[in-house]
Amino acid sequence: MLAELGLVALTLALAGALYAIVACLYSARTGEQRLLQSGRNAALLTCPALLLATGALVVALLTEQYQLRYVYQVTDPGTPPLYRFTALWGAQRGSLLFWSLLMSGFICGAIALNWRGERRLMPVCIPVMMASLAFFLGLSLFIENPFERWWILIDAPVEEQVVSRALIPPRAVPPTEANLRAGAEGMNPLLRHFGMVIHPPMLYLGFVGFTIPFAFAVAALASGDLSNSWIRATRRWTLIAWLFLSLGLILGGRWAYDVLGWGGYWGWDPVENAAFLPWLVGTAFIHSVMIQEKRGMLKLWNMLLVIAAFSAVMFGTFATRSGVIDSVHSFARSEVGFPMLAFWAAMTLLALSLLAWRWRGGALRDERQFASLLSRESLFVLNNVIFIALFVAIFWGSFGLPIASELFLSKEVTIGAQTFEFYVVPLFIAMYMLMGVAPLAAWGGMTVARLGGMLRIPLLLTALGVAGLAVGGTDLLVAALGYGVVMFAAIVALCEIARGVAARRQTLGEGPLRALLALFGRNQRRYGGYMVHLGVTVIGIGVIGSTIFQTEAQHTLNRGETVVIQDYALRYEDFVRAQAVDGRLMNIASLVLLRHGDEVARIRPRIDDYPQLPMSIAGAHSTLENDFYVLLIRGDRQRATFRIYINPLVNLVWWGGLLLILGTAIAAYPKGRR
Amino acid sequence: MADCRQLACFAVRQRAAIFRPLASLLLGFVCALLASAQASDNAVNQVAQRMYCPVCENIPLDECLTAACQEWKEEIRAQLAAGRSEQAIIDSFVARFGDHVVGVPVDPLMRALTIALPLLATALALGIGAVTFRRFAAGKQLPAAAAQRDRSEAAYRQRLEADVRARR
Amino acid sequence: MTRHERATPRIAARWGCSALLLGVIATTVILGAQLAERNRGRPASGPAPDFQLQLFTNEHIELNDLRGQVVLLNFWASWCPPCRAEAPDLQALHEDFAGSGLRVIGVNMLESSPAKAQAFVDELGIGYANGEDIEQRIARLYRVEAPPESFLVDRRGQVRQVYIGSITYDMISGNIQSLLAEAA
């Protein structure tokens, strides 16, 4: 019953999307407003229909309908309720449906909120959004149907009797409940973590969010209405998508840190990089779009960036779901590869052709030209150069080179973290320096002397800070310089906020807190942006601390034995085997962590026994200063081997992330009409 | 998506069917080997960090838990005990398994491609930026473009009003 | 506006856009080819991909030279327990059917040192041909995911059977006999 409900709802959503495309495009030709409204209503219908379809799948997961192939694949009778729910995005079929739901939610939001303001763009905007949605719905319905059920064909030969079909085949009976329950495969152990509850939805929200700016950009190109109105409509949507994408990346890092057990949070794996690429383009766009708004410049470039962001999202989706690279990430290996590649190419080519057409028509000409090398806009251009260089380097390392060398030279290569760090670190240093200088530069141009004057105080404070670090015992020159560059960016952001507060206090006589709140409230984008900058600097300090100063050692301890690492002592106390609620066996080591002779924590790293692969879950004692992170490598009651990491300042990565999200939320929060 | 460092290994195993009891045999096997080992775990990890799992793509050798990786680590241990240098050990693996077992390709062509292209791209991006600046160095507000902007805004406003009228 | 200023964007547009569009098309073709290559499964039927193998005895062997014989191709590693379990059965097959035209070829893969492979061969008294698959070239041709995997190739060089995981004498001797009975 649930399967039929889901199938009907899914079909309805697809029909709605297709109708919306036709109706809106027709209205674009004829100007028929009622048809446009009808198309809009059909587009809005996809969301409830998909809610129903997803709801049906969730209910099937929660009520253990193992006849559904998807439920059979991702859960088993031992799966706890929370993970039954998260199983919705635990494998390809479910996650495609969930992805469609999120996309349709975003689209409906965009249509509802921008219907009045951007009515003129809607006849093209809705079809573009609906085309993206229809593509994914088509995948769900025809290739990776989450509502397929197991059937036994009575008349077929024995080896062909069990089939999975969405529609009931003739002369078929369902398998017995007992057989289904016994055979259910259960969830991938790596996904049984709290981080997996929120990380994929956030990342998906970030991904699908870029559909909206793309649709507006294409609509602007197609309709020829290239005034700044499409920018107004997309700016906020880009920020929202960027917010979710950032959150998804940060949570992904956290999940990797907690579950994957290598003492780090970012490994430059192609799948991670696939999610990082749209983020880089999005960041470039968020900055350069300001130039267009303020100065009417870089129109062509901004168009290109919006198209590139969506294209990067679709490419990343293709790369991670098709198995084109790194086929072992089989979370998602399936038949969707070629359709996705075709879709990516078609959308990118369509948008670029439109862009080329308008460009040659001269519609994207800038209204002003760069007047001075030293101006806010030229520094923003430099910012874009850095982000694009990062994009190219990371794309080449993760996809370009490995694919080209395998295909043309039949040579497999691995591009590892060392290679990425080689070219990414200098670019990030440049980015932080720019982040310090750019907020001080004026639009239109300024003199070196004036900029120097503004830089004096932040530079002085930075010098003091670095000197403080040197006195405090940071003896590594590289680290001190790194901290210095990042600190400089942070100090500039703080100085700008302080200056704003001081100005308000002086002119309006407000108290400091009130002035601060008013500052953020009145100029959300500017000060939200500074807060994001602060967050990025906090992350930067965490990254420098936890990579340059990471201590790592492997020790084998007898029970009762103590090992001394820096000013910590670690004692191996006990080893127990226990069974978790879902039936897996856990080997838990218990250690006591002492500092200066006092017990500060008990750490319990463990190995979970899964039939396929044991999983090592770290135990950690976490403070703002550092994480004392312990992995159980192997062992028994008498003797065990541990891999121990001390990750200084690693928690700043998460706190900085929080600041970044908060700042973005402030910048994106809709302003009430004043 | 920070997924899948171990997932990769897991997936290989899953696809290659579950009957292969490599992983379950791994603990006892490694412990037995360990008894005869001399080089420390830390020394082994230091070499293994620079290498990648031969089976799963993109998993550093020191983190990988598959049987093949454990075996490789023991080989590193043996070679270290025999007094070979870190680089010599890595080179010996590359000679037999190719560039995909290290994070930085050893093959000169590959290495050049790895490093040169991003640098080239960065230089190109900077160059384009510089040319743009030079060409526009003396520019100021273009009257024609500004007029066009005014025109297009006026036209937009006109269309907007037409829309509003149409809706009434 | 001067003519120069008007002309520049046109030329830039033509070249820039052509380059971008061509880039996207080229990328699509490359990705498609790569995807097709990656999605290629094990050769479960059809002609067995040819390869050369240097044996531990320093002889060279090429699959296409073995036309007319039935070939049992076995991928193994010394650290893999199921490989160890199946080796005596492979040896028995070699002893029983070599006379009637069976060639058993062991392809050693993912071995951390050649000495270990040699020790494995010596310890189990393996008499059939064995060699190391340098850089996993053969394993990649046959899409081997993890040892042990075996491929049965008939007298005409066609793959007839794929075995994933360890095999036993009884499991495959029947198949071998029927392939041996076929004409070349």
**Domain boundaries, given as residue ranges, for chain B:** 5-104, 109-167
Tokens of A381: 């251009």
- Domain C52-181 architecture: 3-Layer(aba) Sandwich (3.40)
Distances (CA, A) of A539 to A429, A440, A462, B53: 13, 22, 17, 30
Q: Is B32 on the interface with C (CB under 8 A)?
A: no
**Residues A88 and A119 reside in one and the same domain:** yes
pLDDT in tens, A604-627: 999 888 766 677 888 999 998 899
Domain that holds residue A561: 551-648
Length of chain B: 168
Among A51, A204, A220, smallest CA distance to A128 is for A220
Among A142, A158, A188, identify where a domain stops: A188
Q: A639 in a domain, yes or no?
A: yes
List chain A residues with CB under 8 Å of C139: none
- A338–C35 C-beta distance less than 8 A: yes
pLDDT at B147: 46
Burial of A176 (0-12, 13-18, 19+ CB in 10 A): exposed
pLDDT in tens, C126-143: 999 999 998 888 988 898
pLDDT in tens, A7-29: 999 999 999 999 999 999 999 99
> Which DSSP state fits A547?
H
Residue A552, beta-bridge partner list: A645
pLDDT at B4: 32
pLDDT at B38: 60
Q: Kindly report the backbone phi and psi dihedral angles of residue C127, in degrees, each rounded to the nearest multiple of 5, phi listed first.
A: -105, -15
Which H or E element spans position A645?
A: strand A639-648
CA B91 to chain centre: 21
Query: What number of other Cβ atoms are within 10 A of residue A18's Cβ?
Result: 17
Among A165, A188, A211, identify where a domain stops: A188
**Residues A657 and A571 reside in one and the same domain:** no
**Residues A531 and A572 reside in one and the same domain:** no
**Residues A5 and A127 reside in one and the same domain:** yes
- C32–A341 C-beta distance less than 8 A: yes
A671 or A387: which leads in pLDDT: A387
Among B108, B102, B103, smallest CA distance to B89 is for B102
- C82–B20 C-beta distance less than 8 A: yes
Grouping H, G, I as helix, E, B as strand and the rest as coil, residue A100 is: helix
Q: Kindly report the backbone phi and psi dihedral angles of residue A74, in degrees, each rounded to the nearest multiple of 5, phi listed first.
A: -110, -5
Please state the pTM of the whole predicted model: 0.88
Q: Is the pLDDT of residue C92 over 90?
A: yes
Q: How far is C86 from chain B (nearest CA, A)?
A: 13
C-alpha to C-alpha distance for A628 and A619, rounded to whole angstroms: 8
C-alpha to C-alpha distance for B157 and B147, rounded to whole angstroms: 15
pLDDT at C147: 84
Q: Are the beta carbons of C179 and C160 closer than 8 angstroms? A: yes
**Residues A11 and A104 reside in one and the same domain:** yes
pLDDT at C149: 92
- C37–A341 C-beta distance less than 8 A: no
Q: Are the beta carbons of C8 and A355 closer than 8 angstroms? A: no
Q: Report the alpha-carbon angle A605-A609-A614, nearest 5.
A: 75
Domain total in chain A: 3
- A418–B50 C-beta distance less than 8 A: yes
Q: How far is A107 from chain B (nearest CA, A)?
A: 23
Q: Is A444 on the interface with B (CB under 8 A)?
A: no
Q: Are the beta carbons of C100 and C68 closer than 8 angstroms? A: no
- C31–A365 C-beta distance less than 8 A: no
Rg (CA), chain C: 24
> Which DSSP state fits C47?
B
pLDDT in tens, A552-574: 899 999 999 999 998 899 999 99
- Pick from A325, A352, A403: CB nearest C20: A352
Most confident residue range from A197-211, A349-363, A400-414, A659-673:
A197-211
Grouping H, G, I as helix, E, B as strand and the rest as coil, residue A643 is: strand
Distances (CA, A) of A526 to A458, A664, A667: 19, 10, 7
pLDDT at C182: 86
**Residues A511 and A634 reside in one and the same domain:** no
pLDDT at B155: 61
C-alpha to C-alpha distance for A549 and A188, rounded to whole angstroms: 34
CA B90 to chain centre: 19
Q: What is the mean pLDDT of residues A95-103?
A: 96
pLDDT in tens, A450-460: 888 888 889 99
DSSP string, B66-112: SHHHHHHHHHHHHHHHTT--HHHHHHHHHHHH-GGGBSS--SHHHHH
Q: How far is C112 from chain A (nearest CA, A)?
A: 18
Contact pairs from chain A to chain B, CB under 8 Å = 234
Q: Kindly report the backbone phi and psi dihedral angles of residue C52, in degrees, each rounded to the nearest multiple of 5, phi listed first.
A: -115, 145
Among A188, A204, A233, identify where a domain stops: A188
Mean pLDDT for chain A?
A: 89
**Least confident piece of the model among A120-129, A472-481, A550-559, C24-33:** A472-481
A329 or A386: which leads in pLDDT: A386
Fold classification of B5-104 (topology level)? Helicase, Ruva Protein; domain 3 (1.10.8)
pLDDT in tens, A499-520: 999 988 888 888 888 999 988 8
List chain A residues with CB under 8 Å of C35: 322-324, 337-338, 341
C-alpha to C-alpha distance for B13 and A550, rounded to whole angstroms: 32
C-alpha to C-alpha distance for B54 and B89, rounded to whole angstroms: 15
Burial C140-154 (b: 16+ CB within 10 A, else e): ebbebbbbbbbbbbb
C-alpha to C-alpha distance for C179 and C123, rounded to whole angstroms: 30
- Pick from B13, B15, B67: CB nearest C80: B67
Q: Is the pLDDT of residue A93 over 70?
A: yes
The H-assigned helical ranges of chain B are 5-15, 22-35, 41-48, 67-81, 86-97, 108-136, 143-167
- Pick from C80, C135, C145: CB nearest B98: C135
Among A267, A304, A268, A270, smallest CA distance to A284 is for A304
List chain B residues with CB under 8 Å of C113: 75, 78
Q: A422 in a domain, yes or no?
A: no
Angle between helical axes of C81-97 and C169-181 (0-180°, round to 10): 40
- A338–C30 C-beta distance less than 8 A: no
Q: Kindly report the backbone phi and psi dihedral angles of residue A401, in degrees, each rounded to the nearest multiple of 5, phi listed first.
A: -65, -50
pLDDT tens across the length of chain B (168 residues): 333 333 333 333 333 333 333 433 443 344 444 444 467 888 999 899 889 888 777 788 888 877 788 888 989 999 999 889 999 999 989 988 888 888 888 888 888 888 888 888 788 878 877 766 666 554 544 444 444 544 555 565 566 666 666 655
> Which DSSP state fits C58?
S
Mean pLDDT for chain C?
A: 87
Pick the residue from chain A with its C-alpha nearest to C33: A407
Contacts of residue A517, Cβ cutoff 8 Å, sequence gap at least 6: none
**Residues A505 and A643 reside in one and the same domain:** no
Strands A172-173 and A162-165: unpaired
pLDDT at C6: 47
Q: Is B156 on the interface with A (CB under 8 A)?
A: yes
A449 or A63: which leads in pLDDT: A63
Q: Is the pLDDT of residue A535 over 70?
A: yes
DSSP string, A229-266: HHHHHHHHHHHHHHHHHHHHHHHHHHHIIIII-SS-S-
List chain C residues with CB under 8 Å of B32: none
Please name the residues between 33 and 62 in chain B that touch chain A, using a CB distance below 8 Å: 40-42, 45, 50, 52, 56-58, 60, 62
Q: Kindly report the backbone phi and psi dihedral angles of residue A407, in degrees, each rounded to the nearest multiple of 5, phi listed first.
A: -80, -45
**In which order are the strands placed within the sheet that holds A172-173?**
A162-165, A149-153, A172-173
C-alpha to C-alpha distance for A602 and A612, rounded to whole angstroms: 29
Among B161, C131, B98, smallest CA distance to A120 is for B161
Query: What number of other Cβ atoms are within 10 A of residue A551's Cβ?
Result: 15
pLDDT in tens, A267-292: 888 888 999 999 999 999 999 998 88
Sign of the Cα pseudo-torsion (B61, B64, B67, B70, in order): positive
C-alpha to C-alpha distance for A20 and A35, rounded to whole angstroms: 9
Burial of C46 (0-12, 13-18, 19+ CB in 10 A): exposed
Residue C53, beta-bridge partner list: C61
Angle between helical axes of A376-395 and A417-437 (0-180°, round to 10): 170
pLDDT at C43: 80
Strands C52-54 and C60-62: antiparallel
Q: What is the mean pLDDT of residues A568-593?
A: 88
- A385–B129 C-beta distance less than 8 A: yes
> Which DSSP state fits A166?
S
Pick the residue from chain A with its C-alpha nearest to C11: A360
Cis peptide before C148 (omega within 30 of 0): yes
Among A224, A293, A356, A119, smallest CA distance to B151 is for A224
- A337–C35 C-beta distance less than 8 A: yes
Assess: ipTM above 0.90. no
C-alpha to C-alpha distance for C101 and A139, rounded to whole angstroms: 50
pLDDT in tens, A459-478: 999 999 888 888 877 777 88
C-alpha to C-alpha distance for A308 and A346, rounded to whole angstroms: 13
C-alpha to C-alpha distance for A201 and A191, rounded to whole angstroms: 13
Q: A132 in a domain, yes or no?
A: yes
**Residues A24 and A148 reside in one and the same domain:** yes
- B71–C112 C-beta distance less than 8 A: yes
Strand stretches in chain C, DSSP E: 52-54, 60-62, 70-76, 102-108, 129-132, 149-153, 159-164
**Residues A541 and A594 reside in one and the same domain:** no
- Pick from B15, B75, B96: CB nearest C134: B96
List chain B residues with CB under 8 Å of A115: none
pLDDT at B11: 35
Query: What number of other Cβ atoms are within 10 A of residue B9's Cβ?
Result: 25
CA A283 to chain centre: 13
Q: Is B68 on the interface with C (CB under 8 A)?
A: yes
- Pick from C6, C17, C30: CB nearest A407: C30
pLDDT at C115: 87
Among A370, A92, A116, A251, smallest CA distance to A654 is for A251
Percentages (nearest 5) of helix, strand, coil residues in chain C: 50, 20, 30
